A and B are shown apart, each in its own frame.
Chain A
Amino acid sequence: MRLGPGFSNLLPYAIAAILLTGAGHLARLWLNQAAAPPAPAKDGLRRGMGRAWLRGLQAFFHGTAACNNFIFLSVAYFAGIGITSLFAGRKEKKFPAPGSTPPAGYWQDLNLGKREADAYYRPF
């Protein structure tokens, strides 16, 4: 079977796949999203191997997806949130010093409920 020029040596791909799976698993652990290891099933050798193969494949897919998410979201976080936070300015609201409660209280005007019907057709 010919797999094209790059596939003549499968070792680098296997190493990349193992690294991706591992890194993804670490990312999922960090985000408390890693699934608990499944209880050992009492299968025969062939079914057991089949099951293990499927689990490995699943771990590879999940791990890769987690790696992808981690990279994309980090880009979004630093490029999107980070840069905007530089010029958006922070809304720091200091807690009032004891005894300095403003006389008007903390209520803000809301006036919700008296809008035209169209306002409810939009998600904002």
Chain B
Amino acid sequence: MGKNRSFAGDVWQFLKVSKAWWLTPIVVILLLMALLIIAGQSAVIAPFIYALF
């Protein structure tokens, strides 16, 4: 049991193993946006996120 890595560990390993460093800026921005989108998916918080702009 427990051979899978954490999500962040997987992302780091993926960039390292596949040497896809060109992906780093996209991945970082997407991860940041993903956090906001995931927060936005839960309908209760969604209306309050617009206060962030």
Direct contact of A and B (CB under 8 A): yes
**Residues of A in contact with B (beta carbons under 8 Å apart):** 16-17, 20, 60-62, 64-65, 67-69, 71-73, 75-76, 79-81, 83-84, 87-88, 118, 121-124
**Residues of B in contact with A (beta carbons under 8 Å apart):** 3-5, 10, 13-14, 17-18, 22-23, 25-26, 28-30, 33, 36-37, 40-41, 43, 46-47, 49-50, 53
A81 and B50 within 8 A (CB): no
Tell me the interface secondary structure of chain B in the complex.
helix
User: Given the complex of chains A and B, what is the CA–CA distance between A35 and B18 in angstroms?
Assistant: 40
The total of interchain contacts (Cβ-Cβ below 8 angstroms) comes to: 71
B26 and A68 within 8 A (CB): no
State the Cβ distance, B2 to closest chain A Cβ, in Å.
Answer: 10
11 of the cross-chain contacts (CB-CB < 8 Å) are A20-B50, A61-B43, A64-B49, A68-B37, A68-B49, A69-B37, A73-B37, A76-B29, A76-B30, A80-B30, A124-B10
